[in-house]
Structure 1
Amino acid sequence: MTHDHDAPSSPRCETLEADQVSDWLSRHPDFFEGREALLASLQLSHPQTGGAVSLVERLIATLRARTEQAEGQRQALLNAARQFDQQAGAMRGLTLSLLQAESPDALAQTLTAELSERFGVAHMALWRQLSSGEWAQPPTHALDDDTDQWIADQRSTASGCLTLDAATAARLLPGTTLSGGRGAVTRLALGERHGYLVLAHPEETALPWIMEAENMSYLGDVVARLLLRTPS
């Protein structure tokens, strides 16, 4: 009579997890050397069709997909670089044109024309506190205390960019025909005085890039410095 403890032990069946197999193969990269038949017999699913393909075909498909992804990323970077160059060129051209203005009114008129031609911005207002005896000529408007406080309140709730209705557009851009859209406002530091530059677009989406906050801030700095240097 044979007791269980006298019986030879059976081989233990051990289940390997996928991560264990992957880890082992990564530590033994030469495992498939001399086992070409095993490599040839391996079947994987195709990433697009789902059908069974050889390991080599799967590797080719994977490499092709990575190449296409890298090419897409490269093209996106090239497009971004071209766009940046175009924007930098447009801003440079605008700045050079503004530098030729010999008075605040000439500066405002040049700014209006340049914004329309280069950036597609057809609505602009320049609010500033005027010197004694100085008259406002559109798009320049005299900034009084009430308007100053109202514009400041609008900026504090909208971070410089706000949705326009007919009443808001008429207050920000006197004489405008806008009944909606988006407006961008930046404050001008004019020494002891200050002012506001207001741009508007009739649509709420696809705004001209010049109306983005960072670009508005830069444009406001340029305009403020030129206003300070040109005699009233």
Structure 2
Amino acid sequence: MLVVSAHWLTKGTFITSAEKPETIYDFYGFPQELYDIPYPCSGAAAQIKDMASICSSAFIGLDDQRGIDHAAWSVLKHMYPKANIPVMEMSLDYTKKPAEHYELAKKLAPLREQGILIIGSGNIVHNLRVIDWNIDAKAFEWAVSFDSIVKKCLVEGDHKPLIEYQKIGKNALLSIPTNEHYLPMLYAAALQEQDEEIHFSYEGFQNGSISMRCFSYGKIER
């Protein structure tokens, strides 16, 4: 599996290459139970070798020190609790524009063809500046509006407005004050094959300003 993480920002793009990546607890002030969760997955050394040409053409580097952060393991713990599938994580180059991220994602298409599951882990709406600490708080109207626009674009396969999200207006800017949580969605969208249907496995909000929408293309083996 390859996870594009909202929590690994770098100058340049990198993929983890450690044989046994550590579990990174990159969050603060949460219950101890979360820090006690292990995810002892192996790295994907064999797949990384196969990716050499892709990495070269896309100028992707390797990092053998980086572990797996919670953008990856907090999701995979539920999908594959046995941690028996090799995992790679990919960083987000903070110098790239959204259109460049989208084009980079398209270069990863051969990995799908090889059966590698690619996950974009982030949030379509992620504004912690106005968060309501009641997890069940009613979602802000601007958040619901923007999330609905994104859903419509995804269903129609119209990705240009998603790339140029700033043009959507105020609701987009409120939903994406910084874009690191939004960009992983563009990686997933860019990998949609022609006429491939989208499936929404979850729709909803928490804390008023965080969209928890989940979607997939193709069939995911469990």
More helix, by proportion: 1
TM-score by length of 1: 0.26
Max Rg structure = 1
TM-score by length of 2: 0.27
